Structure 1
Amino acid sequence: MAQAFAAEGYGVWVTDVDRSQIAALPEGIRGDVVDASDEAAMAGLFDRIAAEWGGLDVLCANAGIKGPTSAIEDMDLGAWHQCLAVNLDGAMIAAKYGARLMKPAGEGVMIFTSSTSGLYGTPFRAPYVAAKWGVIGLMKTVAMELGPFGIRANAICPGSVNGPRIDRVIEAEAEAKGMTPEAVRQGYASGTALKRLSDPEDVAAMAVFLASPAARMVSGQALAVDGMTYNVDP
C-alpha cells in the first residue's frame, strides 16, 4: 500500500512495531515505530503529522495480527484481547485521530483493512473473525458520521494474500487441524473462483482506487479482494 500510494505521488507515512521494517523503508516513505493499539503513541503520531503536513488526505487503518488459532473451547482470553486490541481498537484509534485532522479540511478518505473473515466465519480463528466483523461495523458507522463533512470510509476485505503473514497463518492452521501446510494452502486456493491466492499489489490497487476521485461516491462499503472466495473451510 505504501509503495502504491507513493507511486501515485502521495506523501506516505507508515507505522510498524517492527523496527527493522521501518529501517528498511524505501527512500521517500516516512516511518515511525508505533503500536497501533497504544492510544498515547498514536496521538503523538497524529500530532507529528499535523505539525509537519498540516493535514491528512488518506488514512489506511491496516495494522493487524493473526491472533491465536484455536478451538473455541481452548481459547485463551488474553490472546483474544490482544487480537482485538490491535485489529479493532487500533482501527478505532486511527479513525478517532484521523477524523480530527480531516473534519476541519472538509474532505478525506478512510480505508480500513477488514478481511473476508469479516464477511463470514472462519473455523479456529474466532478472535480474528470477531475483530474483522467489528472493523466493518466501525467503518459503516464512521462513514455515516463523517459523510456530512466530505469524508468517505470503506473497508477492503482481502482473502488469503501471498506473503510471510499467510505462511504463518497456514502453518498454525495446519497444526490445529492435523494437516500439512501444503494441503491447507491448496484448500485456500481451491476455495476461490480464480483458484489462486491474491498478491499484495491486488489489495494496494483497491486502496489507491478508493482514495481516488473515481471512487467519489463509494462510501460505507466492504469490498472483497479475494478471487471470489466461496469455501472458507479448506
Structure 2
Amino acid sequence: MTRTVVVTGAGSGIGRAISRTLAERGWSVVVTDVDADAAGAVAAELPAVDGAPHEWAALDVRSPSDATALAFSTADRIGLDAWVSNAGVSFMHRFLDAPVERFDQTMDVNLKGVFVCGQAAARAMLRSGTGGAIVNTASMAGKQGRVPFLSDYVASKFGVVGLTQAMAYELGEHDIRVNCVCPGYVETPMQSRELEWEAQLRGTTVDGVRTMMLDDTPLRRLEQPEDVALAVAFLLSPDSRFITGEALAVNGGAFMD
C-alpha cells in the first residue's frame, strides 16, 4: 500500500531532496511551497509511484486555514501517513543591528509554521485513526548559540527542537511519532545567500567562509541536501518505530552533543 507524505518548503534545496528521496522509496509525495511554480516543477520531476504522478500545492505555512485544508483534503482523498515541516527562512545581521521585523518574519515561518502545520497534520491523522509520523527541520543552530549573525534563526530553531519534544509527548498516545533533524552546513540556495552575507559581515570572501565551515566539519565536506533527506527517510520508516521526540544531528560532526 502506497504511503503519502506532505513536504513543506519543497520547491528547492532540502525540501526538494526530501521529496525525491521519499518518492524513490515508494512514497506518494504532496510537494508544497509558498512558490506554486517551484512546487509544481519539483512534483513533475519526481519518479512516479505505481504509475501515478505526485501532487503539489501552494502553501503558506503561517496560515492555519491553508494548512488544515491541505492536511484534511489529503487525508480524505489519498491518506496522510506523514508530514515533513521543512519550510524555513534566514536573514543575517549582527545582533545589535537586527531589525525586529526580521525576527518576526523568521519566527512566523520557522517556528509558527511548524506549530501550525504540526497541528493540522496531527488533527488529520487523529481523525483518520491511523497514527503517523511528523518530522520537523530544525538545525544544529537549534542546539547551540555559537552561530554568528543568526540570532533570530537560532532562537527559532531552538524553538523547533522544544516544540518537537512537546508534540511528541502529547501525540504519542495517538500513535503519532514526532522528531526533528538538525542539519549543519548544507549546500543550498539559502546557504549561498548566507555565504555572501557572512563574508560581508566578517570582511572576508565567500571562499574564506566556506573554508571555515569545512574546518568546523570533521567529515571534511559540506553537507548535501540528500544527506538530510536520508535522515528524514529513516525517521519516517519502520526502522525508527520506537523513536520520538528526538533531535537527530545530521551535520558531519560540526556540532556534537
**Equivalent residue for 2:112, pick from 64, 84, 89:** 89
Instruction: Give the CA RMSD over aligned residues.
Output: 1.4
CA distance change for structure 1 residues 230 and 141 in 2, over 3 Å: closer, same or farther? closer
Structure 2 CA distance for aligned equivalents of residues 188 and 22 of structure 1: 30
Aligned residues of 1:60 and 1:112 also touching (Cα < 8 A)? yes
* Residue of structure 2 equivalent to 1:79: 102
Shift of 1:20: 2.9
Shift of 1:42: 1.6
CA distance change for structure 1 residues 13 and 126 in 2, over 3 Å: closer, same or farther? same
* Residue of structure 1 equivalent to 2:86: 62
Runs of at least 5 residues in structure 1 that lack an aligned partner in the other structure:
none
2:158 equivalent to 1:99: no
Structure 2 CA distance for aligned equivalents of residues 230 and 85 of structure 1: 26
**Equivalent residue for 2:251, pick from 198, 207, 226:** 226
Larger mean Cα displacement after TM superposition, 41-50 or 208-217: 41-50
Letter in 1 for 2:41: A
Structure 2 CA distance for aligned equivalents of residues 146 and 51 of structure 1: 20
Per-residue deviation, residues 88-145 of structure 1 (Å, max 9, x unmatched): 0000011101111222424211101000000101121011100000000000000000
Aligned residues of 1:193 and 1:230 also touching (Cα < 8 A)? no
2:235 equivalent to 1:215: no
Runs of at least 5 residues in structure 2 that lack an aligned partner in the other structure:
1-17, 47-52
Aligned residues of 1:139 and 1:220 also touching (Cα < 8 A)? yes
Aligned positions of 1:17-32 closer than 5 A: 17-25=34-42, 26=45, 28-32=53-57
2:159 equivalent to 1:134: yes
Shift of 1:230: 4.3
Which portions of structure 1, spanning 4 or more consecutive aligned residues, are displaced by more than 4 angstroms?
A: none
Shift of 1:48: 2.2
**Equivalent residue for 1:2, pick from 10, 19, 23:** 19
* SS of the residue 1:184 aligns to: helix
**Equivalent residue for 1:113, pick from 137, 157, 164:** 137
User: What is the TM-score when the length of structure 2 is the normalising length?
Assistant: 0.85
Shift of 1:146: 0.6
2:29 equivalent to 1:12: yes
Structure 1 CA distance for aligned equivalents of residues 71 and 235 of structure 2: 22
Letter in 2 for 1:203: V
Shift of 1:178: 1.3
Structure 2 CA distance for aligned equivalents of residues 22 and 214 of structure 1: 29
Aligned residues of 1:5 and 1:208 also touching (Cα < 8 A)? yes
* SS of the residue 2:27 aligns to: coil
Per-residue deviation, residues 31-72 of structure 1 (Å, max 9, x unmatched): 11111112222222223213322x311110100011x21111
CA distance change for structure 1 residues 128 and 192 in 2, over 3 Å: closer, same or farther? same
Aligned residues of 1:193 and 1:228 also touching (Cα < 8 A)? yes
* SS of the residue 2:114 aligns to: helix
* Residue of structure 1 equivalent to 2:6: none
Shift of 1:157: 0.3
* SS of the residue 1:209 aligns to: helix
